[in-house]
Structure 1
Amino acid sequence: MSRVVSKSLSLLQSGRRSLHVSAVSAAKQTMPDPIEHATGLEKYELLAKQAGNDDPFFLKACARGPGTKAEPTIVNAMDTYRSVGCVCNEEDTNIKWMWLCEGAPKRCACGYWFELKVHAAPDKYSLPL
């Protein structure tokens, strides 16, 4: 009986030691840089953010500008059309959606004017590898 107890005790102690040693050696390892690991559009976005452009695909909401017919609110896009949502009043709980097309300013139901400004999209064949 004492042999069984001593064998199980020695296995338990050696198990603790191996776990402790493996934890110390794992602490020396680091994760690779995400920019070196990324390719394509993901790398394009990470490089743009590193250069200071935190919204390279124009996905963040923007505030309305003057919104007159002479000075419409400019909406940026990478295509010749885009769906735009307007919160007409601050206390509204719904969004009024409309399609904007290049060269055709559009008026929302609340009276604000919007116009689309097209930017060149990244060429998929020249994206960083």
Structure 2
Amino acid sequence: MAGVVARSLNMAVRTASRRGIHVSAAVRGDHDMTDPIEHATGVEKYELLAKQAGNDDPFFLKSYSRGAATKEEPCIVNAMDTFRLVGCVCHEDDTIIKWMWLCEGAPKRCACGYWFSLKVHPAPEKFAMPL
């Protein structure tokens, strides 16, 4: 009986190991993928075209240093709307971000004493996005 079980297990291992491997994509190494800009549409294509033109932050998402940020010369925060949520790391060794809402035309002071002002830029038209 033990020989029959061992023989059937041996057959199961042999049939499982005979499966073929499909490698046609690896064989055709002479073909490259096309440019991703050709396949992108809408917001993704807008962002790729802006980066290609030299604007690496078309939606104002990168963080930056606030500088002096006094009441006379506040730190300018760019936005594509009339309001934006802004986070301030008051001291370099802080682990907490202090959040505040900025509105167009109303400079705001953080708890640490730095001033912020909002600068509104026109957003791209939804129906004028590149195809």
Q: Would you call these one fold, judging by a TM-score over 0.5? A: yes
Match of 2:40 among 38, 41, 60: 38
SS of 1:125's equivalent in the other structure is: helix
Where does residue 86 of structure 2 map in the other structure?
A: 84
Structure 2: state its 5+ residue gaps: 1-17
Corresponding pairs, count: 113
**CA 23–125 in structure 1, closer or farther in 2 if over 3 Å, else same:** closer
Where does residue 4 of structure 2 map in the other structure?
A: none
Where does residue 58 of structure 2 map in the other structure?
A: 56
How far is the alpha carbon of 1:28 from its aligned partner? Answer: 1.6
For 1:23 and 1:73, the matched residues in 2 are separated by: 52
Percent of paired sites with the same residue: 73
Structure 1: state its 5+ residue gaps: 1-11
How far is the alpha carbon of 1:65 from its aligned partner? Answer: 2.3
TM-score of the superposed pair, with normalisation by structure 2 = 0.80
Q: CA RMSD in A?
A: 1.9
Dislocated runs of 4+, deviation >4 Å: 22-25
Q: Deviations over 1:92-127 (max 9, x none)?
A: 110000000000000000000000000000001111
